[in-house]
Structure 1
Amino acid sequence: MAEKSGSAQFAIENIGPDDRERLSVWARKLFFDWRGNASRPKLLFAVAAADVSSIVAAWPLSILLRDAPFVPSWTSFAATTLVALLTVGVLRQQWSYSVSSLRRFVPQVFKVLVSLAVVALGISGLAFLFDQKAVAPREVAAWMEVSAILLCVVRSVAACSIDRLTRAGLLVRRTVIVGGGKDADDLIRALKSDPTNHMQILGIFDDRQDERVSGSCADIARLGRFENLADFCRTAGVDLLIVTVPARAEERLMQILRKLFTLQVDIRVSALNSKLRFATRTLSFIGRVPMLAMMDKPLSDWDRVVKNVEDRVLGALLLLLAAPVMALVALAVRLDSKGPIFFRQKRYGFNNELIEVLKFRSMYVDQQDATGSKVVTRGDPRVTRVGRFIRRTSLDELPQLINVVKGQMSLVGPRPHATGSKAERDLFEDVVEGYFARHRVKPGVTGWAQINGWRGETDTREKLVRRVEHDLYYIDNWSVLFDLYIIALTPLSLATGKNAY
């Protein structure tokens, strides 16, 4: 053992600076986002993956600790993996997978013990009901004991890592204050006095130019007016907006909120100086500061983890299954007309950012519309013979599975629209107020609007309004089962739909 330990230490000490730099770059790509901050969904996924691995590994460890022979098999691996996933589900029900929860080690230990006890009782109950004697109760108990130790180790490492990242300013909630004056000064002072907030106040946005606006506003920079807020939130990766405009100024408050509802942020209205007495259940708290919750992000950190896993796993599987069909379509496109097989088009994606969406080319090369400013209609002369078929059957959309696997799109979500799309001569964002709110999640290959008959051209205002209504309903009611339901109904909607040309 001493020799092995010495060898390991020698190996660690002899890692060169280039290797360490590569390791650092790899770790940052894996666990950090495009801003250089620690990614909450990636960290939570890492903890969940470590939990599953720990429970699976605890089974052979518990057997070896009892000096019993361990014979590995695919059956035992599948069974332990299933139990591990069930345990993660129970932990999720106790809100164990959130950054704020993982900061507190002792409550996490309690959640681990409760979850493992529930799972152990469930296993024992099923074994008793089905008269299964392959696994004795003492073996299950030993397995759960080892699992508890390993899960507590995972949480200890997670708590320490989160604490270090927070101290380094890499795992904080990037916050903007909307509205200035005394209310903003008092709010910032209260937030700064509470060390448990774990937030970074980036600055203040306010339109007022009179004496009510504090010049320093508690040493926090004034970043601009309301008209600059949306662009700043998208480019700076803001997580939380706190509005200090008094609730009694209803018209002013609604004017601000209408601009903010399209953003991928949590929105709170400060009730710190309010003279109104709200019921406790209507308030949320940031530290000791009472807040009115106006809007949350469509997908929480854990929901984003689940959604990303769903997209990558199912997307890769569907891409593999669709590969033969895609090869045939590619051949047909190539033989039908000159030009590239794929058509690449800039469309609005998550957070209103532009992404390059892939499609099989369905138009003649010299008549393609990169901005989508002219709607494709029935009998459109720009569309090739093969193009008419693949557009009607939506086979031209299959390459977007590549966008899904790359993380640019989801399997299910609002369909991405081209930058110049119009309905009755007006740009989409000018037709529907709050149109960009549909970009608070990744765009999808299919969606709730599509399976309800709102696919194809959106040449009229009514069609666009109905599509946006369905998109916003999907965002507000997202769940894994909802996604699977939409995926299951998509082939039927393609077979019966008549709106794609």
Structure 2
Amino acid sequence: MGGATNRQKTGIAFSGRFPSQVIFPVLDILIIFLCGVGVYLARFGTIALHERYALALTCISLIVLMVNSSTGSYKRWRVFSTIDLLSKLLFVWLGVGIFVTSIIYFADASERYSRLWVGFTLLSSFILAACARVLVQQGLRRLPLRGGSRRPIFLVGPGQNVLKVAKGMRAAAWEGHSIVGVERFHTTLTPSDDQLKNISARIGRSGAAEIWICAPLEMGETVHALFYALRNHTEDIRLIPDFKDMRLLNHRTSEMAGHLVIDLSVSPINGMARFSKRAEDIVLGTLITLLILPVCAVIAVIIKMTSSGPVLFKQYRTGSSGKIFKVYKFRSMKVHKEKRGVVTQATKGDSRLTPIGAFLRKTSLDEL
């Protein structure tokens, strides 16, 4: 029992003193310099870096740290999925690689730097950084399951809401939360002053590090009363509102006119994200287009051989700011006319489908 307690304290102390904001930046710097020196040794036969290569490694490290910090890649590593973690890392390394090579090119310094050294340093450091993140994340995610590094949570709210949050915590056990207390009350009744005092006392005795108020939006008065009753507590207090059956799109919180705003449906593409998205569209779109050209050619030939009419057809869609744009798809239906303003959606076994149309739709190849 004592050993388990000691492991828990050690895990909490470690994760508290050395969070991802400290671990990953240090790892990134060490990995970049390790790979840079290793590739330099393989390329030039010595580990004595020339000063311009040492300067290049320093610049690469600083750029990686700045980009990762600005994109939030060093925060909340527990709640990131491994795929999200690695995709963010890949985006950062690609961006840094493009930036560094551009600087070398425009500064006319390509003769002073080995392109092989730059390329293999970035490639090997990305691979090592990715492996390090996966190992650290998976290793630290196992700490809560063994009794270490758990963060004690006290849940307050209507029974149904508390149960819903508790189920979510159980499903995401790797985030490191554990329930140390629960206080349930009815949705239609605001707790009395005595109940609020009892709740405050129970939380104080529970040893909780955080208090989660689980309540629907219409219980604003109750949330206010709870928050006031807990004003002298030093625990972190979080509100988990219940949006019931609302379908949210890219929801988040922001600040408008000095007020906290819950964005229910917003576009994630603004600021630098707009530039990044455009660059991603061009680079990845070009690569994917080159890869799928042979497949597209085969589909086009089959469509032409099995039915009369054009290979492609166009649809009009609504894009950003209500702008109408054209979408070109492989034709999966026979050429036909419909009444003005009438669009009859295709159904299973639709007689208008071409011999290959059903297959194209089922496999989504018509979307290429």
**TM-score scaled by structure 1?**
0.41
Amino acid at match of 1:247: L
Amino acid at match of 1:118: G
1:102 is displaced (CA, Å) by 7.5
Q: CA RMSD in A?
A: 4.2
- Which residue is equivalent to 2:54? 77
Q: Does the alignment pair 1:110 with 2:87? A: yes
Alignment of 1:390-469 (within 5 A): none
Q: Judging changes above 3 Å, is the alpha-carbon distance between structure 1 residues 75 and 176 closer, same or farther for their aligned structure 2 residues?
A: same
Moved more, 164-173 or 137-146: 164-173
SS, match of residue 201 in structure 1? strand
In the alignment, is the contact (CA less than 8 A) between 1:38 and 1:170 conserved in 2? no
Q: Does the alignment pair 1:248 with 2:248? A: no
Q: Does the alignment pair 1:258 with 2:231? A: no
SS, match of residue 179 in structure 2? strand
Q: Judging changes above 3 Å, is the alpha-carbon distance between structure 1 residues 200 and 40 closer, same or farther for their aligned structure 2 residues?
A: farther
1:246 is displaced (CA, Å) by 4.1
Amino acid at match of 2:209: G
Q: Judging changes above 3 Å, is the alpha-carbon distance between structure 1 residues 270 and 242 closer, same or farther for their aligned structure 2 residues?
A: farther
- Which residue is equivalent to 1:148? 126
Q: Does the alignment pair 1:228 with 2:206? A: no
SS, match of residue 152 in structure 1? helix
Mapped to 2, the partners of 1:55 and 1:280 lie a distance apart of: 37
Mapped to 2, the partners of 1:283 and 1:80 lie a distance apart of: 36
Q: Deviations over 1:287-343 (max 9, x none)?
A: xxxxx979xxxxxxxxxxxxxxxxxxxxxxxxxxxxxxxxxxxxxxxxxxxxxxxxx
- Which residue is equivalent to 1:125? 102
Mapped to 2, the partners of 1:192 and 1:223 lie a distance apart of: 27
1:111 is displaced (CA, Å) by 2.8
1:159 is displaced (CA, Å) by 2.2
- Which residue is equivalent to 1:269? 240
Identical-pair percentage: 14
Alignment of 1:5-404 (within 5 A): 32-33=11-12, 36=13, 38-39=15-16, 41-72=18-49, 76-100=53-77, 104-132=81-109, 133-189=111-167, 191-193=169-171, 195=173, 198-205=176-183, 225-228=198-201, 231=204, 236-238=208-210, 241-260=211-230, 263=234, 265-271=236-242, 274=244, 277=246, 279-282=248-251
1:176 is displaced (CA, Å) by 1.4
- Unmatched runs of 5 consecutive residues or more in structure 1: 1-20, 214-221, 285-291, 295-501
Mapped to 2, the partners of 1:72 and 1:249 lie a distance apart of: 64
1:153 is displaced (CA, Å) by 2.7
Amino acid at match of 1:254: H
Q: Judging changes above 3 Å, is the alpha-carbon distance between structure 1 residues 280 and 145 closer, same or farther for their aligned structure 2 residues?
A: closer
Q: Deviations over 1:364-385 (max 9, x none)?
A: xxxxxxxxxxxxxxxxxxxxxx
Q: Judging changes above 3 Å, is the alpha-carbon distance between structure 1 residues 227 and 106 closer, same or farther for their aligned structure 2 residues?
A: closer
In the alignment, is the contact (CA less than 8 A) between 1:178 and 1:242 conserved in 2? yes
Mapped to 1, the partners of 2:133 and 2:29 lie a distance apart of: 13
Amino acid at match of 2:141: D
1:281 is displaced (CA, Å) by 5.0
For the pair shown, the structure with the greater C-alpha radius of gyration is 2
1:140 is displaced (CA, Å) by 0.9
Mapped to 1, the partners of 2:11 and 2:171 lie a distance apart of: 28
Q: Judging changes above 3 Å, is the alpha-carbon distance between structure 1 residues 283 and 93 closer, same or farther for their aligned structure 2 residues?
A: closer
In the alignment, is the contact (CA less than 8 A) between 1:103 and 1:159 conserved in 2? no
In the alignment, is the contact (CA less than 8 A) between 1:61 and 1:146 conserved in 2? no
1:55 is displaced (CA, Å) by 0.3
Q: Deviations over 1:67-106 (max 9, x none)?
A: 5444335654344123212112222334322344686434
Q: Deviations over 1:460-485 (max 9, x none)?
A: xxxxxxxxxxxxxxxxxxxxxxxxxx
1:147 is displaced (CA, Å) by 1.1
- Unmatched runs of 5 consecutive residues or more in structure 2: 254-260, 264-368
In the alignment, is the contact (CA less than 8 A) between 1:204 and 1:224 conserved in 2? no
Mapped to 2, the partners of 1:232 and 1:175 lie a distance apart of: 12
In the alignment, is the contact (CA less than 8 A) between 1:207 and 1:225 conserved in 2? no
- Which residue is equivalent to 1:463? none
